[in-house]
Amino acid sequence: MSSRDSRLRLARLAAEVRAERVPEPREPGLPPRLRAEFRGVASGGLRSAPPSRPAAARRWWPVFGLAAAAALALVFVRSGAPAPEGPRRVAPIATLDGQALDLGVLIVAEDRARHVEHAGRASWQLAPGSQARLVSATGGVLRVSLEQGSLAAEVEPSRQHESFVVQARGTEVAVHGTHFIVSLIGERVHVAVTRGQVQVRPTLSGRAVLPVSGTLLGPGMQADFWAGSTEPPPPPPHTPAAAPPPATPSAPTPPIAPVAPQGARPARPGTRMPAKPSAEPSAPAASAAAAPPALPRPLATGAASAAGDAPAASVEQALETVTDRVQHCFREQVPGSSELGIEATTRLGLWVEPDGELLRADFDPPLAPGVERCVASQLAHVRVARSPAGFRVERDIRLQR
C-alpha cells in the first residue's frame, strides 16, 4: 500500500467515524450530580471574572502597604512583648506587611483570614485555620511555605519569570501569572488557578531557576499533587488499616477562603481536574514507543527567555553550541536541490544543568522528525559551560539549507 493509499484510507475512515452516532445521554435534563454541584457552588456565590485593576488603584498599593507596616509596628511597640524563641506567632491583625516580616515567622490564621501584602509584588491570603511562613525573599523571588490549610495568592506582573513560589509538602507551585490557590488536603496538595499560569513540581532545594519537570496549570484548571507529582504515592505494604486513603484528610480541613477582590472560587477537596499534560516520563509506554527518539519536550513554550542568574557567557555558549548542531542537522536532513534555499524559523527552548549537562532541547514549531532525531543524537553527550544554578533559556533561531 502506498503512502497515498494510506492517506485515502485514513480520510475515508475519518469520514466513517464522523458519521458514527455519538451515544445519547441517558437523562434528558440536568443530572442530579450536576444539580447538587450547582447548588453547592452557587451557595458560595458565583462571580464573574474581575476586570483588570485600574492603574490608579495600583498606585495606592504602596501606600496601603506602608499604612499596614506602620500599624504592625505600632502593635508591636505598644505590646512591648519580647520576641519569642523559635517560630513566632504574628499578632492577629487583618493585613500584614510582607516586607516587614521576618523570614521563618509562622503566620497563623486562626478564626479569620490573614492577608499579607508585599507591596507592588504580591499579596497572599491565608484561610482561617491555615498556617504559612515566608521562607525567602532573595533574588526577586518570594518563597512561602504553606504548613497547613489553604493559601490564595495574587502576584503582580513582573519581569521576573517566577517571582512567587509556594512550597507545600514536597510540592512547589511557581507563578507564571497572577492568581491561584494552594490547599493542603490530607496528603494532597490541591492547586487551583484562577488567572494566569503556575508551574507545579517537586520541591528541590538549591534550584534558582525553572527545573526541568512539572505540570503547567492554566486559568480555570485545578489538580491534586503528591510531592509535586499528579500520581498519588503507592500505599505502604501490609498496612492497609493504618494508612488512610490519600483523599481523606487526616484532620479537619480548614475552609478555604477565596480572595474577595478577585472573586476566586474555593478549591474543593477531592477535585480531580484538568491540567496540561506534563512531558514527564510517566507517559504510557505505548506513547514512548510510538514517538520518535527525540529529546523530551518541555512543559511551557512561548514564554519569554529566562536564564535566571546564569552568566551571560554560559547562556550564549550553550545557545551557540546547540544552534550549530541544529543547523548542521537541518542541512543534513532536509532534502532538496542544492540550488533551492530552504529556511525555517523555530523557537529553541533549552534546559541546562549547573554542571553544563543539556537536559532538554525543544522546538516550537517542531522540526521535521529526521532533524529532531539528528539533533537528539548530536546533543546526547554535549556539555556546555558550568553555571551556578543551571538555567533555562528560549530563543528564536533561523535555520537555512
Partner 1 sequence: MERAAAEGAAQEDRELVRRCRGGDERAFERLFVRHRGAVTGLVYRMLGPSPELEDLVQDVFIQVLRSLGSFRDEARFSTWLYRVALNVVLMHRRASGRRPRLVEEEQAAPAVDGAPSAHEALETRRRVAAFYALLGRLSDKKRAVYVLHELEGLTPARIGEIVQAPVLTVRTRLFYARRELADWIEEDPALAAQLSEAAEPGEEQP
Q: Cα–Cα distances in Å, from 294 out to 3, 181, 216, 349, 370?
A: 23, 35, 21, 14, 9
Rule CB under 8 A: say whether 70 interacts with partner 1.
Answer: no
**x-or-dash string of contact with partner 1, 181-200, rule CB under 8 A:** -----------x-xx-----
CA distance 136 to 33: 43
Host H or E run for residue 315: helix 312-333
**x-or-dash string of contact with partner 1, 211-250, rule CB under 8 A:** -------xxxxxx------x--------------------
Rule CB under 8 A: say whether 4 interacts with partner 1.
Answer: yes
The distance of closest approach from Cβ of residue 275 to partner 1 in the complex, given in angstroms and rounded to an integer, is 6
CA distance 307 to 389: 10
The distance of closest approach from Cβ of residue 200 to partner 1 in the complex, given in angstroms and rounded to an integer, is 13
CA distance 352 to 306: 12
The distance of closest approach from Cβ of residue 22 to partner 1 in the complex, given in angstroms and rounded to an integer, is 5
Considering only 83, 290, 304, 312, the residue that binds partner 1 (CB under 8 A) is 290
The distance of closest approach from Cβ of residue 205 to partner 1 in the complex, given in angstroms and rounded to an integer, is 27
Considering only 233, 309, 366, 400, the residue that binds partner 1 (CB under 8 A) is 366
Query: What Rg, from alpha-carbon coordinates, does the chain have?
Result: 25
Quick check: 115 and 154 in contact, CB under 8 A? no
The distance of closest approach from Cβ of residue 400 to partner 1 in the complex, given in angstroms and rounded to an integer, is 19
Rule CB under 8 A: say whether 3 interacts with partner 1.
Answer: yes
Q: Supply the DSSP string of 177-236, one letter for each residue.
A: SSEEEEEEETTEEEEEEEES-EEEEE--TT--S--S--EEE-TT-EEEEBTTBSSPPPPP
The distance of closest approach from Cβ of residue 334 to partner 1 in the complex, given in angstroms and rounded to an integer, is 15
Location of C-alpha cell 522540526 = 367
Q: Which of 104, 96, 339, 314 is nearest to 209 (CA)?
A: 314
Nearer to partner 1, 38 or 60 (CB): 38
Of 41-60, which residues contact partner 1 (CB under 8 A)? 41-42, 45-49
Considering only 118, 263, 303, 307, the residue that binds partner 1 (CB under 8 A) is 263
Rule CB under 8 A: say whether 33 interacts with partner 1.
Answer: yes
First-to-last alpha carbon distance for the chain, in angstroms, is 32
**x-or-dash string of contact with partner 1, 268-287, rule CB under 8 A:** x--xxxxxxxx---x-x-xx
What lies within 8 Å, CB to CB, of 61 at 6+ separation is: 117, 119, 120
Interface positions with partner 1 (CB under 8 A): 1-10, 12-14, 16-18, 20, 22-23, 25-26, 29-31, 33-35, 37-39, 41-42, 45-49, 192, 194-195, 218-223, 230, 263-265, 268, 271-278, 282, 284, 286-287, 290-291, 364-366, 369
